């Protein structure tokens, strides 16, 4: 079941890439396995998934030792500062950096462990009250501070688009984030790249790919409803 659905999502990604004139290798599928039991993750692994996304630190901590070591774990959920020490060194990328204070905490923990941490800044493009993340106009100031952190490296941006019936409604959101990332990228800021655009979920990942996503985070479409 999981394997078939994973295959379906992979196929849809390839087709979206073809439509957009992009190479499928440019897009990484993150299998969002939050709340799902280890055997389902094993099935996705057998189907070829190597990037898994979790929104709780405890779930990464619990699942990681039970699964193959070549899995790349992505922290995609709101991260509390007091949990940062548990995820540094475990997650390959923290997508959900939504405040300067959180970035500072990550720097502190990374320095303590003498390691480097790759992050994305989460952007609340549609300015939804219920969502975390920087507003677009706040992102550049945040970047100009975080760029000087020696152990933290900004690799791009992430957004969670609004929940909509028709994914076309989110096209503008994705377009806006893409254009913003291009503008920042042109500034060639030290210690900052805009190589990663993490956007698109089960309902809208194909539109996100057409608008430039390099990582899509798909849960329900692979593992079923939560």
Stretch that binds ligand PLP, among 12-20, 43-51, 133-141, 212-220 (CB under 6 A): 212-220
Residue nearest to ligand PLP (CB): 219
Pick the binder of ligand PLP from 57, 201, 208, 213 (CB under 6 A). Answer: 201
* 176 lines the binding site for ligand PLP (CB under 6 A): no
126 binds ligand PLP (CB under 6 A): no
The binder of ligand PLP chosen from 133, 167, 212, 221 (CB under 6 A): 221
Return the half-sphere exposure (C-beta side, CA atoms, 13 A cut-off) of residue 126. 18
DSSP, res 88: T
Mask: binding to ligand PLP, 74-103, rule CB under 6 A, as x and -? Answer: --xx--------------------------
Stretch of residues binding ligand PLP (CB under 6 A), selected from 41-49, 85-93, 129-137, 199-207: 199-207
**Identified binder of ligand PLP from the candidate list 139, 160, 199, 215, rule CB under 6 A:** 160
CB 111 within 8 A of CB 155: no
Contact 52, 31 (CB under 8 A): yes
Cα 145 to Cα 142: distance, rounded to the nearest angstrom: 5
Give how far the C-alpha of residue 51 lies from the chain's centroid of Cα atoms, to the nearest Å: 10
Binder among 33, 55, 105, 159 for ligand PLP (CB under 6 A)? 55
Give the tokens for residue 173: 């959101």
Which span sits near ligand PLP by CB under 6 A: 62-70, 83-91, 171-179, 218-226? 218-226
The strand pairing partners of 76, in sequence order, are none
Q: Give start and end residues of each alpha helix (H) in the chain.
A: 2-20, 38-46, 57-63, 84-87, 100-112, 136-146, 171-186, 205-210, 220-223
Using an 8 Å Cβ cutoff, are 80 and 101 in contact?
A: no
If binding is defined by CB under 6 A, does position 167 make contact with ligand PLP?
no
Residues at the interface with ligand PLP (CB under 6 A): 32, 34, 55, 76-77, 160, 201-203, 217-221
């Amino acid at each position: 079941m999981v394997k078939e659905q994973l295959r379906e999502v992979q196929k849809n990604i390839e087709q979206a890439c073809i439509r957009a004139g992009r190479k499928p290798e440019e897009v990484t599928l993150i299998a969002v396995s939050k709340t799902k039991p280890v055997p389902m993750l094993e099935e996705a692994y057998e189907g070829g998934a190597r990037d898994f996304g979790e929104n709780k630190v405890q779930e990464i901590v619990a699942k990681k030792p039970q699964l193959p070591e070549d899995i790349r774990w992505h922290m995609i959920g709101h991260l509390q500062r007091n949990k940062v020490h548990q995820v540094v060194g475990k997650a390959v990328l923290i997508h959900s950096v939504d405040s300067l204070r959180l970035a500072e905490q990550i720097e502190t923990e990374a320095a303590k462990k003498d390691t480097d941490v790759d992050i994305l800044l989460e952007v609340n493009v549609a300015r939804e009250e219920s969502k975390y993340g920087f507003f677009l106009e706040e992102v550049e100031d945040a970047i100009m501070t975080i760029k000087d952190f020696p152990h933290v490296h900004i690799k791009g941006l992430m957004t969670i688009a609004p929940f909509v019936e028709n994914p076309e409604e989110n096209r503008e959101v994705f377009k806006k984030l893409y254009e913003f990332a291009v503008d920042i990228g042109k500034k060639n800021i030290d210690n900052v790249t805009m190589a990663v655009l993490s956007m698109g979920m089960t309902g809208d990942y194909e539109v996100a790919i057409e608008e430039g996503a390099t990582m899509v985070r798909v849960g329900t479409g692979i593992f079923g409803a939560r």
